[in-house]
Amino acid sequence: MNAQSQMQEPMLSVRDLHAYYGKSHVLRGVTLHIQPGEVIALLGRNGVGRSTTAKAIMGEVAPKGEITFKGQPIAGLESHRIARLGLGYVPESRDIFPTMTVRQNLILGIKDMKRPGKYSIEQMLEMFPNLAARADNPAGVLSGGEKQMLTMCRTLMGDPDLIIIDEPTEGLAPKIVQQIGDMIAEIAKTGVAILLVEQKLSIALRIASRVYVMGHGEIVFEGTPAEFRTRDDVRKEWLEV
């Protein structure tokens, strides 16, 4: 494969993805793709299936349809296999391990001790002084923003090529939202592709190079932030409450 075709081959490609919760048909043919190093935002109101899209890609919800990552089909693979291909996931629930220290949480992000990733624990702590100050405290006592940072750092320890980040700023104060936004932008600069599931347009439009809007379990708009800004109809119909 030459450099040209590698550029065109999406890193993650989701085609006609369906998912069900019992009898309810939650995803009705979602199609999206992400290039290496690209940051895209997945927007939409609550309950339209954005988180389910993330879960279906990560193997937590049974997917029907085609999902390929780096050219390999991953639909229905066990979640640790998907993770080991280089796909990281920061869930909405954050899921830090509360009784373990911040440092131990980071250790668990390393997939294989024999093949350490880009960052060592010490480097990670240096980059995030907030976490360093609490390195040996149980993660359960961190603030919401710090927990979100820790979750993202923990996933970064596993050296992913693409991270799916689900609602990172939910329930956080505006100042912290800003910080988390900066952090995601920083991660993107290191060349990691990001699929950001967000509700706050300010963050999404600042970081993303492409935007998808979801409604009723399918993609209803795709375009650049500039294109999105010209489409008041999309915003009114699919995003405003």
Question: How deeply is 104 buried, as exposed, middle or buried, from its count of CB atoms within 10 A (0-12, 13-18, 19+)?
Answer: middle
Nearer to another protein, 26 or 153 (CB): 153
3-state secondary structure of 23: coil
Alpha-carbon distance of 166 to 95, in angstroms, equals: 12
Nearer to another protein, 80 or 236 (CB): 80
158 binds another protein (CB under 8 A): yes
Total number of residues binding another protein (CB under 8 A)? 27
Nearer to another protein, 177 or 197 (CB): 197
3-state secondary structure of 91: coil
Nearer to another protein, 154 or 200 (CB): 154
- Using DSSP bridges, classify how beta strands 72-73 and 193-197 pair: parallel, antiparallel or unpaired: unpaired
Residue 72 identity: Q
Nearer to another protein, 149 or 177 (CB): 149
Q: Assign residue 40 a region: left if phi > 0, alpha if psi is -120 to 50, beta otherwise?
A: beta
Cα-Cα-Cα-Cα dihedral sign, residues 197, 202, 203, 204: positive
Pick the binder of another protein from 15, 28, 33, 111 (CB under 8 A). Answer: 111
206 binds another protein (CB under 8 A): no
Least Å distance between CB 79 and another protein?
Answer: 4
Pick the binder of another protein from 25, 29, 33, 107 (CB under 8 A). Answer: 107
Q: What tokens does 160 get? A: 């992913």
Give, as ranges, the residues between 52 and 91 that touch another protein (CB under 8 A): 58-60, 78-80, 82-84, 88-89, 91
Residue where the block lists tokens 């979100």: 148
Which residues of this protein are in contact with another protein, per CB under 8 A? 58-60, 78-80, 82-84, 88-89, 91, 95, 97, 99-100, 104, 107-113, 154-155, 158
